[in-house]
Homo-oligomer: A and B are copies of this chain.
Amino acid sequence: MNGAQSLIRTLVDAGVDVCFSNPGTSEMHFVAALDTVPEMRGVLGLSEGVVTGAADGYARIAEKPAATLLHLGPGLGNGLANLHNARRAHTPIVNIIGDHATYHKKYDAPLQSDIKAIAGSLEGWVRSSDSTTNVGADAAAAVAASQDAPGRVATLILPADVSWGDGGVAAAPVPPRGPLAVEESTVKSIAEILRTGEPVALLFGGPATREAGLRAISRIATATGAKPLVETFPARLERGAGLPTFERLGYLAEQATSQLDGAKHVIVAGAKAPVSFFAYPGKPSVLVPEGAQVHTLAELGDDVVGALEALADELAPDTEPVLQQANRPALPSGPLTVQNWVEVIGALLPEGAIISDEANTSGWTLPAATAGAPRHDVLTLTGGAIGQGLPVATGAAVAAPDRPVIALQSDGSALYTISALWTQARENLNVTTVLLNNRAYAILRMELQRVGAEDSGPKANDLLDLSRPDMDFVKIAQGLGVPATRATTAEDLAAQFRRALAEPGPHLIEAAIP
């Protein structure tokens, strides 16, 4: 077999059987090899941000990596923003980048660039495979590296001649390194702090935002009075009726400061000590209250859930978690507003839904409206690089064909990776996109004030305005092969959302929000 065939065979044997792809000439042998390994599924994206975002969404739901297939340095560049989000989510991704043949690189052909330097910025794992014989083993190492706790982007650079050469050897899977156990003494010392009765905030993230972690945290909080806070942008947060529900730490520093106010101790588990998303003139970067101490129960890469369960067993052996009751908002009526659209979602969210949330400023009140809805997963904008929402929804739908995927997408962020809709149509994915069109980079209008640039004039405001011309997302979606409608009232949105959920395949609803 050739190098490409050994690579794909190795991936499949290690459980990686979906490859989100945007190939070019240097990847043609990889593409040809797809037909020799029937278990591997190739999914085409029309731009690399779709490919990398889909791989992120896939792994957040499938709990195993997908592969990507990108074309040299420019392809990696186009995919870098969503790889950045995946890096912050600690999502395992096997990021395959075709390169010039090893002997061709010295000629500095037009598409030559420093792929390793660009991939290095992801602070994951990077290797360029240097021989056909080794590419199988390199692939097995990449799969393991991507899954070594807590998960990362593993970039495998694949020179064209390594891909087309004969003598490929499929390699056996390499077991990834699991999370490190937290020492009992650490659990005991954290328990001591919680027993003092002093005000404690318990900030948690990573693997703790799933059911087992949430239950342990609820027990700890119930027994001790500690205040649990979910990290601001969890990769995958399990929510809804029957699960404990907690606040997320606010995106705005002033929200977060208020949530943490009064805490004498901040205990972190699978999350970092809270810092402001951006710096603002005259405001602190660190959000830990003055005089409060930060204590680490478990780092990312540790067995965060195990440590939380041990802490719960120590502090609250007989305490049951407090579970969210089923409770939906009533269906609202009248013209759509930034308040009422989330009530429609809360009222109608189907059982087992996956929400890809890039609603941004239009979605501030979404968590409250959906807390008592049937159990669901929320995938958030982990790295702050907008353009994640539609691709992540696409990948999640590939991972879970039997679950309804809901993409809540703001207009300003949508255009970076809008062609994800085409991939949804091609793969007949069950994704319902609600496109919140407020015709502005609304978050930047707010940020322009918050950074103290109050004296902005018409030129500044014009750069944050997405009208002139208004975008028609119904037409854009239809042009990309996705059925689409427009809602201007809560009744419209409810009727269209119900219909979209009832029909297979992707749909888009443009919700006009003032």
Q: Is the CB of A473 within 8 A of B463?
A: no
The CA-CA distance from A101 to B123 in the complex, in Å, is 21
Interfacial residues of chain A within 69-93, with CB under 8 A of chain B in the complex: 73-75, 77-81, 83-85, 88
Q: Is the CB of A77 within 8 A of B84?
A: yes
Chain B positions within 8 Å of A232 at CB level: 110
Q: Is the CB of B78 within 8 A of A81?
A: yes
Given contacts A81-B75, A121-B113, A278-B160, contact A422 B452 (CB under 8 A): no
Q: Is the CB of B416 within 8 A of A422?
A: no
Q: Is the CB of B279 within 8 A of A453?
A: no
Q: Determine, out of A191-199, A269-277, A289-297, A494-502, the stretch whose residues face the partner at the interface.
A: A269-277
Q: Is the CB of B459 within 8 A of A104?
A: no
Given contacts A164-B281, A279-B100, A480-B471, contact A32 B387 (CB under 8 A): no
**A83-116 toward B: CB 8 Å interface, digit per residue (1/0)?**
1110010000000000011011001111101100
Chain B positions within 8 Å of A34 at CB level: 457, 459-460, 463
**A243-274 toward B: CB 8 Å interface, digit per residue (1/0)?**
00000000000000000000000000000100
The CA-CA distance from A109 to B256 in the complex, in Å, is 14
* A295 CB, nearest partner CB in chain B, Å: 18
Asked if A462 is an interface residue, CB under 8 A from chain B, the answer is yes
Q: Which of B77, B118, B462, B475 contacts A478 (CB under 8 A)?
A: B475
Asked if A447 is an interface residue, CB under 8 A from chain B, the answer is yes
Number of interface residues of A (CB under 8 A): 104
The CA-CA distance from A79 to B161 in the complex, in Å, is 29
Chain B positions within 8 Å of A160 at CB level: 278-279, 451
Q: Which of B109, B279, B460, B470 contacts A101 (CB under 8 A)?
A: B279
Q: Which of B110, B281, B475 contacts A476 (CB under 8 A)?
A: B475
* A251 CB, nearest partner CB in chain B, Å: 10
Chain B positions within 8 Å of A77 at CB level: 77-81, 83-84, 118
Q: Is the CB of B382 within 8 A of A32?
A: no
Chain B positions within 8 Å of A475 at CB level: 475-476, 478-479
The CA-CA distance from A478 to B25 in the complex, in Å, is 32
Chain B positions within 8 Å of A279 at CB level: 100-101, 103-104, 160-161
Q: Is the CB of A47 within 8 A of B111?
A: no
User: Which residue of chain B has its CB nearest to the CB of A466?
Assistant: B46
Q: Which of B88, B419, B470, B479 contacts A474 (CB under 8 A)?
A: B479
Copies of this chain, how many?
2
Asked if A383 is an interface residue, CB under 8 A from chain B, the answer is yes
Q: Is the CB of B107 within 8 A of A275?
A: yes
Interfacial residues of chain A within 24-50, with CB under 8 A of chain B in the complex: 24-26, 28-29, 31-32, 34-35, 40, 42, 44, 46-47, 49
The CA-CA distance from A385 to B382 in the complex, in Å, is 28
The CA-CA distance from A453 to B470 in the complex, in Å, is 46
**A223-245 toward B: CB 8 Å interface, digit per residue (1/0)?**
00000000011000000000000
Chain B positions within 8 Å of A74 at CB level: 80-81, 84-85, 383-385
The CA-CA distance from A196 to B385 in the complex, in Å, is 61
* A475 CB, nearest partner CB in chain B, Å: 3
Given contacts A103-B285, A385-B74, A448-B32, contact A469 B113 (CB under 8 A): no
User: Which residue of chain B has its CB nearest to the CB of A85?
Assistant: B74
Chain B positions within 8 Å of A466 at CB level: 46
Q: Which of B88, B278, B456 contacts A26 (CB under 8 A)?
A: B278
The CA-CA distance from A452 to B123 in the complex, in Å, is 36
The CA-CA distance from A424 to B110 in the complex, in Å, is 28
* A505 CB, nearest partner CB in chain B, Å: 10
Among all A-B residue pairs, the 4 with the closest Cβ atoms = A77-B80, A469-B481, A35-B457, A475-B479
Kindly list 18 other residue pairs between chains A and B, CB separation below 8 angstroms, not including A32-B455, A77-B118. Answer: A21-B463, A26-B278, A31-B444, A35-B460, A42-B462, A47-B416, A74-B383, A74-B385, A78-B416, A110-B277, A117-B117, A160-B279, A161-B281, A164-B452, A164-B453, A472-B478, A473-B479, A474-B479
Some 23 contacts from A to B, beta carbons below 8 A apart, are A23-B444, A28-B448, A31-B453, A34-B460, A42-B459, A42-B463, A47-B416, A73-B121, A77-B78, A77-B83, A78-B78, A103-B279, A108-B275, A109-B276, A109-B277, A110-B382, A111-B383, A114-B121, A164-B281, A164-B451, A415-B422, A469-B480, A475-B476
